[in-house]
Amino acid sequence: MDSELGTLARELSRPYYDDALPAHDRFHAKRVRELSLRLASECEGSVERDVLSAAAWFHDIGRPRERTGEIDDHNDWGATEAATLLEAEEVASDRIEAVTRCIRAHSIRSRSPEPETLEAKLLFDADKLEATGAVGIVRLACIVGERSGRAGERYAVLDRPSGHGMAASDCPDITLLREWATERLDALYTAPGRRLGESRREVMAEFFAQFERESRAEDE
């Protein structure tokens, strides 16, 4: 069963992503899995790759419910749900605990526990790196769009009104994306994660510089 844990988690997690929006769908889970395993291959120390793979597939299964207000915390809910699913498949309790420990600690939220195992740190880093670089900028923009699209809520504006001599908005502007991405890069735990993070930081710096030029019509 251990050698099949990642594949099992992929199949068990699939229905939970049916109602997910693009920033946290099954394709995000797949990218996090692939990235976490890439980091694992560059990491010193032994990594339980099947545990890491399973945790990556499960890590955001609670996102659709959290978005609609059915649950408060997708980390705890997802860990509990994953444990229930794996117990039904008779997966060993120590393996289930290893997976759920990763899921509970994958978020950057202040109330989330610190990742303690190497697998948990790798999952955390892969998930944070998914919010950086070219793909990350698109994902973060999707998240801003989700929040801005809630009924009766204006979350953010694309531009910086003050840069055009307009009245300042009471909503955050596009620099929010830079702040979110930087926060995640600064929080990375592993050496391979930080190395990759620096290259993605350069990509984002170039993007935001171009954004500034376009905002001032300097590229025309």
The CATH number that applies at residue 84 is: 1.10.3210.10
- Which one-letter amino acid corresponds to residue 218? E
Contact 32, 123 (CB under 8 A): yes
The per-residue pLDDT for 145 is 81
The per-residue pLDDT for 2 is 42
**Band (191; pLDDT cuts 50, 70, 90):** very high
Q: What is the mean pLDDT of residues 44-48?
A: 91
d(CA 207, CA 93): 46
| Residue 161 in this model has a pLDDT that exceeds 60 | no
d(CA 119, CA 103): 10
Examine the domain organization and report whether 20 and 90 are in the same domain.
Answer: yes
% of the chain residues with pLDDT over 90: 71
Examine the domain organization and report whether 50 and 105 are in the same domain.
Answer: yes
* Predicted model pTM: 0.90
Examine the domain organization and report whether 115 and 7 are in the same domain.
Answer: yes
Q: Which of 96, 119, 142 is where one domain is finished? A: 119
Sequence-distant (6+) residues with CB within 8 A of 193 are 39, 121, 122, 125, 126, 128, 129
User: For the purposes of burial, counting CB atoms within 10 Å of the CB of 218, is it exposed (0-12), middle (13-18) or buried (19 or more)?
Assistant: exposed
Domain count, the chain: 2
DSSP 16-42: GGTT--GGGSHHHHHHHHHHHHHHHHT
Examine the domain organization and report whether 4 and 74 are in the same domain.
Answer: yes
Q: Which of 68, 85, 119 is where one domain is finished? A: 119
Tokens 């303690």 -> residue: 116
Contact 61, 16 (CB under 8 A): yes
Q: What is the mean pLDDT of residues 22-42?
A: 97
| Residue 204 in this model has a pLDDT that exceeds 80 | yes
Of 146-150, 175-179, 206-210, minimum mean pLDDT range: 146-150
Q: Which of 57, 91, 119 is where one domain is finished? A: 119
**Residue 150 belongs to domain spanning:** 131-220
